Structure 1
Amino acid sequence: MALVNAVSGGGGEEPGPSPAASTTGGGTKSTDRSSAQSSATLPLVLRVTGPATNVIVKVSTSGEILTQGVLATGETRKYEESPLQVVAYNGSSLQVVIYGEEQPAKPAGRATWFVNRQR
């Protein structure tokens, strides 16, 4: 986790819940445009390409919440664990990449995605 914070610029303290965003566990906030190759190995990459939207990302097996809060336009989150469940209040605001494969765009409104363990 220290390495993740060092790379993402986190100061070692986890932010508390806030209206802007809340991240715990494996979600890393990033504004860096990573190469497609590194994203291909990650189970999940979320990019907010539309208006800010409320997003919840949790580990399916344990129920641990990794992200819960509003993600701003232009924000990118990367997740290294799986399986995951993703819920967005406005699915059309997100670009979702699962194991390097961009998922089809969702219409406006509540949307969900599932990230299985890669075999």
Structure 2
Amino acid sequence: MAVMAALALLVVGAMALVDAISGEPEQKGPVTSGTPSGEDGGGGGGGGDPSPSRNATASVPQSAVPLVIRVTGQPTTVVVRVADAQGKVLTNGQLGTGDILQYDEAPLQVVAFNGGSLQVTIYGKEQPRKPNGQRGQWFVGERSS
């Protein structure tokens, strides 16, 4: 099981690098928030969509949310993919300081070029911080009952 998870993270990392080099960001799904300055802010009602949302923390207990990413350091490139055979890209782009992404689905694979810039919370549990300037990787499994 651990070998499969490590292999999956390696594949995600390679795919993220290829995406970053090719310059073809596929930013679908999440809404970034936390920058009160006049940046776009996105339109984005979530309705019944399992995509990430910005206001779910108000209505859903934090421990029930599979993944919350907060950029607390310098801007960094983040790739979030569904961890299945299709590997649908939910986020692939640079996030700025103060941005928050929240995902209401799992399993997910997360790669950040600078893992030290992020505060990652999985099912309400804050993950150990990564060293600043080093790549960070996380896996969000399906919640067991």
| TM value normalised by structure 1 | 0.74
Deviation above 4 Å: which 4+ runs of structure 1? 32-35
Hey, what does 2:141 align to over in structure 1?
116
Bigger CA radius of gyration? 2
Residue number in structure 2 paired with 1:75: 99
The answer to whether the Cα contact below 8 Å between 1:28 and 1:79 also exists between their aligned partners in 2 is no
How far 1:111 sits from its partner (Å)? 1.0
Name the % identity.
47
Structure number with higher helix proportion: 2
**Residues 75 and 22 of structure 1: is their aligned pair in 2 closer, same or farther, counting only changes over 3 Å?**
farther
1:24 aligns with 2:20: no
CA–CA separation in structure 2 for the residues paired with 1:116 and 1:30: 24
1:54 aligns with 2:55: no
Q: Partner letter of residue 136 of structure 2?
A: A
Instruction: Give the structure 2 partner of residue 12 of structure 1.
Output: none
Distance 1:53 1:22 in 2: 16
Give the letter aligned to residue 50 of structure 1: G
Q: CA deviation at 1:22?
A: 5.8
Unmatched tracts of structure 1, length 5 or more:
1-18
What is the aligned partner in structure 2 of residue 66 from structure 1? 90
Aligned to 1:42: 65
1:57-105 per-position Cα deviation (integer Å, ceiling 9, x unaligned): 0001130000000000000000011100000000000000000000000
Please identify which structure carries the higher strand content. 1
Compute the RMSD of aligned alpha carbons.
Answer: 2.2
Shift of 1:41: 1.1
Contact 1:50–1:92 (Cα < 8 Å) also in 2:
yes
User: How many residues get paired?
Assistant: 99
Q: Distance between the aligned counterparts of 2:97 and 2:141, measured in 1?
A: 26
